[in-house]
């Protein structure tokens, strides 16, 4: 067991924000970017959030590795820039190829 998790075992306090299914009733379309090979957060977590919020979110997977996705490729950068400036989201099922090294 990871020490960060084991350190909380036995604490008498209640959890302030327990895990629960997401309930989003009113929200604009939300762009979600996530790396398929994120060393810190597994892609399945993003996929589960997207399944719970399918009517509100668009999940754009980056097919490469790394934790931060925005600047990884023209595809990820353009998707974020288009979203932030025009609230434009990519079509469902889109993905960004891994960046190539020169």
pLDDT digits (tens, 9 = 90+) for 36-56: 999 989 999 999 999 988 889
Give me the percent of the chain exceeding a pLDDT of 70.
90
pLDDT band at 1 (very low <50, low <70, confident <90, very high): low
Q: Pick the closest to residue 43 from 95, 86, 5, 88 (CA basis).
A: 95
Q: Pick the closest to residue 69 from 94, 30, 36, 23 (CA basis).
A: 36
pLDDT in the model for residue 64: 93
Distance CA(72)–CA(40), nearest Å, equals: 16
Question: Across residues 80-101, what is the average pLDDT?
Answer: 93
Q: Is the pTM of this model over 0.85?
A: no
CA distances from 11 to 7, 8, 17, 43 (A): 9, 6, 15, 30
């Amino acid at each position: 067991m990871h020490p960060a998790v084991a350190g909380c075992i036995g604490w008498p306090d209640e959890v302030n924000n327990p895990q629960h299914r997401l309930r989003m009733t009113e929200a604009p379309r939300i762009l979600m970017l996530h790396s398929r090979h994120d060393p810190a957060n597994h892609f399945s977590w993003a996929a589960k959030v997207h399944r719970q919020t399918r009517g509100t979110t668009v999940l754009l997977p980056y097919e490469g590795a790394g934790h931060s996705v925005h600047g990884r490729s023209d595809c990820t950068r353009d998707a974020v820039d288009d979203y932030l400036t025009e609230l434009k989201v990519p079509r469902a099922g889109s993905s960004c190829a891994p960046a190539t090294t020169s």
